[in-house]
Chains A and B, each alone.
Chain A
Amino acid sequence: MNTAVAEGPATPAEGNYLTNGYSLWSWLTTTDHKRIAILYGLTITVFFFMGGAAATLMRIELISPTPLIMSAETYNKLFTAHGVIMVWFFLIPSIPATLGNFLLPMMVGAKDVALPRVNLLSWYVFVLGGCFVVATLIAGGIDTGWTLYTPYSTRFSHTTVVCGVAGVFVTGFSSIMTGLNFIVTVHRLRAPGLTWFRLPLFVWAIYATSIILVLATPVLAMTLVLLAMQRVFGIGIFDATLGGDPLLFQHMFWFYSHPAVYIMVLPAMGVASEVITCFARKPVFGYRTMAYAIAAIAAFGFMVWGHHMFVAGQSLYASLVFSFLSYVVAIPSAIKVFNWTATLYKGSITFEAPMLYALGFVGLFLVGGLTGLYLASLGMDADLSRTYFVVAHFHYIMVGGSVMAYFAGIHFWWPKITGRLYSEAWARLAAIVIFVGFNLTFFPQFILGIDGMPRRYFEYAPHFQFLNILSSAGASILAAGYVLPFVYLTWSALHGAAAADNPWGAKGLEWQTRSPPPVENFDAPPRIPVRPYDYDPEAAERERR
């Protein structure tokens, strides 16, 4: 297959990937990984605000313990839409398909991904899946929760489950194509001399994520086929009335969906590693252990799915093993947190906006991870798993972790991607607003959970109201915090000052080329460092003085 042909004629020295054709058609038919990254970025931004709107409506409703602005059915549909959109149409593609797509080939010193046309196809498949989901929303939405548990989803729900499931099914193939492409790229297209242990940790993280994408996503796809068949034909292996097993669905679903959590958080860890080392002006502490920890998280991530079913009637012995393995995953995760902290130690730290987001990521991920240990213990989970504690834990990892890191990455590589600078003051303000808003939204939910407020309920006991109002107030701050970057980044993309090639003085290969990069990424062969992250904190300190 002849996939290496760069589009268009030879680029003039001052041209870049953004000036290589201005028509909509040139974007829709591009095979340039950088443009595909932008296409993904715009698409998931739309989904992010759709999912965010659903969350906002839910938080408004939960201000009052009694019905306020909607019916219980609408509430169920909102939390389902929020979950489905945020998980499959924002978080899973967020860092891999945007930052990963843009940066991975540059970080390995290549012109493009290995299979550029497959890369473009993956975006179209993603959009097609998104169309199914939008169609589902227009048809009234589904009310099963994003987990689609049987028998509710197969027998009792009166909503358009099959259409929504089709959207997730189709989108899965875009995940598989993206993952496959990245694995081939890392194996085949590394520049000469760029050995595995010279790769940035971001590449390690995306590589591990890609393996999960390729191996776990097909399992979800087939599970959803079985679910849809059972719903359409009225019989299937999840049907308890025929001696089938609804719990089997949960096993199959979480066999994908737990590793999916690592699909969402491993790339975030990769971003944090790049950003923290750059703004601490210090090499990543324990680079090899960081790389091994990524691999360990990916591997163990496949063996812990049963901790979602401790109270679902699973065998106690299975639960014990899953509980143990869930604790085991905490070890490499903790190694990473310790190493980020140790990277900061005696660094020459500056607090630019990407660093603020990345430090926020580390703190919030720590809280999310530690509360995960509560839930990994069988006794605690029996009490907590039906409560808001789980919601808070999950959002600390997914929003406090993944979304914060996504923003860290967007800000960090923004000058490279757009060739323009964003407003540092606004960006720092937004980082702080998001951090405060996030904690105010979700910390009260830990307390609500410990107090026993059940999750997914539309109404609640009046004595939970105060903390719910706090949470809703936090959500409004958080919403404002998310609108801020949307505004100032849009402004920057149109009117921002031109960025230097390497405004942060960072060491990655992607900073050796122009901003924005030329079509084929590098005008001259990039210089391969002997070791990654060759920062010198003492020199940086002298320079600052």
Chain B
Amino acid sequence: MSAGAEAMRRGASANDSDSEVGLWLFLASEVMFFGLLFYGYAITRITHPLAFAEASAHTDVLLGTINCVLIFTSSLTVALAARCLRTGARRASLRLLAATWTLGFLFLAVKCYEYDVDVANHLVPWGRFAFHGGLAAGERMFFFMYFVMTGAHAVHLIVGLGILAAMVVGVARGRYTEHNSEAVELAALYWALVDTVWIFLYPVLYLVHRP
């Protein structure tokens, strides 16, 4: 192997970028993963426009909006955390990571509470369903997609919480420093996906025909 390739293979920064390119590709596959759900949603909504508007009005827009604030703020804090670590502000980075984790956890808590309210209101489409009118079939579809899409998002959020927890521990123990900040930056990149998906979920689930 030539000297250049050797350096390329061994140099820490080059390896880190391998991971970064890999993560971007992973995010591309995640976009296709969620893209399929949005496609299914779009087709079903075109078939049942009125039912989707009617059903969407029964989602809890206040809780959804609170979650928007939580997740958007967490996206800011995680970006700052990565930036701080790179510039050597480890203590600030640690606090920001902890703040991100807390905001993410609060999002999850709010989402669980919201699910609980949904269950109490009989919005679960495979249970005793609240709607019985002429639009009930389409409303079932809406809530089916609502649970699948928010559920898939929640799974990614829970994985993200695990990653962030590992980052908090890693920074606290001095494993990740300004010389070795790639893991935190990749975690931030992944968290941006969790945030971005919610940006699209919020309007299509909560804001359909809301005056």
**How far does the alpha carbon of A214 sit from the alpha carbon of B15 in the complex, in Å?**
21
Chain A CB within 8 A of B109 CB: no
Residues on A with beta carbons closer than 8 Å to the beta carbon of B22: 114-115, 118, 180-181, 184
Residues on A with beta carbons closer than 8 Å to the beta carbon of B8: 188-189, 192
Residues on B with beta carbons closer than 8 Å to the beta carbon of A245: 43-44, 47
* B138 touching A218, Cβ below 8 Å: no
- Among residues 4 to 21 in chain B, which have CB atoms less than 8 Å away from a CB atom of chain A? 4-5, 8-10, 12, 14-19, 21
Residues on B with beta carbons closer than 8 Å to the beta carbon of A180: 22, 25-26, 29
Residues on B with beta carbons closer than 8 Å to the beta carbon of A522: 1
Given the known inter-chain contacts A1-B19, A3-B15, A242-B141, please indicate yes or no for A176 contacting B29, CB distance below 8 A: yes
Chain B CB within 8 A of A244 CB: yes
Chain B CB within 8 A of A456 CB: no
Chain B residue with the shortest CB-CB distance to A192: B4
Q: Give, as a whole number of angstroms, the nearest-CB distance from A112 to chain B.
A: 8
Chain B CB within 8 A of A233 CB: yes
Cβ contacts B38-71/A at 8 Å (1 or 0 each): 0110011001100000000000000000000000
* B9 touching A1, Cβ below 8 Å: no
How many residues of B are counted as interface, with CB atoms below 8 angstroms from the partner's CB atoms? 46
**CB within 8 A of A114: which of B18, B33, B36?**
B18
Residues on A with beta carbons closer than 8 Å to the beta carbon of B10: 4
Chain B CB within 8 A of A225 CB: yes
Residues on A with beta carbons closer than 8 Å to the beta carbon of B83: none
* B32 touching A109, Cβ below 8 Å: no
Chain B CB within 8 A of A455 CB: no
Chain A residue with the shortest CB-CB distance to B35: A219
* A222 touching B33, Cβ below 8 Å: yes
Chain A CB within 8 A of B72 CB: no
**CB within 8 A of A188: which of B4, B12, B18, B126?**
B18
* B2 touching A115, Cβ below 8 Å: no
Chain B residue with the shortest CB-CB distance to A114: B18
**How far does the alpha carbon of A242 sit from the alpha carbon of B44 in the complex, in Å?**
11
**How far does the alpha carbon of A101 sit from the alpha carbon of B16 in the complex, in Å?**
21
Residues on B with beta carbons closer than 8 Å to the beta carbon of A241: 137
**How far does the alpha carbon of A218 sit from the alpha carbon of B34 in the complex, in Å?**
8
Chain A CB within 8 A of B183 CB: yes
**CB within 8 A of B125: which of A2, A225, A235, A255?**
A235
How many residues of A are counted as interface, with CB atoms below 8 angstroms from the partner's CB atoms? 52
Residues on A with beta carbons closer than 8 Å to the beta carbon of B152: 222, 225
Residues on A with beta carbons closer than 8 Å to the beta carbon of B25: 179-180, 183-184, 214
* A191 touching B26, Cβ below 8 Å: no
* B28 touching A191, Cβ below 8 Å: no
**CB within 8 A of A233: which of B32, B36, B43, B126?**
B126
Given the known inter-chain contacts A1-B19, A187-B21, please indicate yes or no for A223 contacting B140, CB distance below 8 A: no
**CB within 8 A of B141: which of A110, A114, A183, A244?**
A244
Q: Give, as a whole number of angstroms, the nearest-CB distance from B152 to chain A.
A: 8
**How far does the alpha carbon of A222 sit from the alpha carbon of B35 in the complex, in Å?**
9
Chain A residue with the shortest CB-CB distance to B143: A235
* B15 touching A1, Cβ below 8 Å: yes
Q: Give, as a whole number of angstroms, the nearest-CB distance from B40 to chain A.
A: 5
Chain B CB within 8 A of A216 CB: yes
Cβ contacts A245-258/B at 8 Å (1 or 0 each): 10010001001000
* A184 touching B21, Cβ below 8 Å: yes
Q: Give, as a whole number of angstroms, the nearest-CB distance from B76 to chain A.
A: 26
Residues on B with beta carbons closer than 8 Å to the beta carbon of A459: none
Chain A CB within 8 A of B172 CB: no
**How far does the alpha carbon of A522 sit from the alpha carbon of B1 in the complex, in Å?**
6
Chain B CB within 8 A of A325 CB: no
Residues on A with beta carbons closer than 8 Å to the beta carbon of B197: none
**How far does the alpha carbon of A251 sit from the alpha carbon of B158 in the complex, in Å?**
30
Residues on B with beta carbons closer than 8 Å to the beta carbon of A179: 25
Chain B CB within 8 A of A234 CB: yes
Q: Give, as a whole number of angstroms, the nearest-CB distance from B13 to chain A.
A: 12
Chain B residue with the shortest CB-CB distance to A218: B33
* A237 touching B141, Cβ below 8 Å: yes
Chain A CB within 8 A of B182 CB: yes
Chain A CB within 8 A of B144 CB: yes
* B29 touching A192, Cβ below 8 Å: no
Chain B CB within 8 A of A520 CB: yes
* A215 touching B182, Cβ below 8 Å: no
Q: Give, as a whole number of angstroms, the nearest-CB distance from B82 to chain A.
A: 15
Chain A CB within 8 A of B201 CB: no
Given the known inter-chain contacts A184-B25, A188-B8, A188-B21, please indicate yes or no for A1 contacting B148, CB distance below 8 A: no
Chain A CB within 8 A of B145 CB: yes
Cβ contacts B138-156/A at 8 Å (1 or 0 each): 1011001100100010000
Question: In the complex, which of the residues B8, B18, B126 has the most CB atoms of chain A within 10 Å of its own CB atom?
Answer: B18
* A252 touching B40, Cβ below 8 Å: yes
Chain B residue with the shortest CB-CB distance to A191: B5
Chain A CB within 8 A of B37 CB: yes
Chain A CB within 8 A of B116 CB: no
Q: Give, as a whole number of angstroms, the nearest-CB distance from A22 to chain B.
A: 26
- A residues near B (Cβ < 8 Å) are 1-4, 109-111, 114-115, 118, 176, 179-181, 183-184, 187-189, 191-192, 214-219, 221-223, 225-226, 229, 233-237, 241-245, 248, 252, 255, 520-522, 524-526
- B residues near A (Cβ < 8 Å) are 1-5, 8-10, 12, 14-19, 21-22, 25-26, 28-30, 32-37, 39-40, 43-44, 47-48, 125-126, 137-138, 140-141, 144-145, 148, 152, 182-183
The 9 closest A-B pairs by CB, nearest first: A218-B33, A233-B126, A525-B2, A192-B4, A114-B18, A222-B36, A218-B32, A242-B137, A180-B25
For this complex, 25 residue pairs linking A to B, each with C-beta atoms less than 8 Å apart, are A1-B19, A1-B182, A1-B183, A2-B12, A2-B15, A4-B15, A110-B1, A111-B1, A114-B21, A114-B22, A176-B26, A180-B22, A215-B28, A215-B32, A218-B29, A218-B30, A218-B33, A225-B152, A235-B126, A235-B141, A236-B144, A237-B145, A243-B138, A244-B141, A252-B36
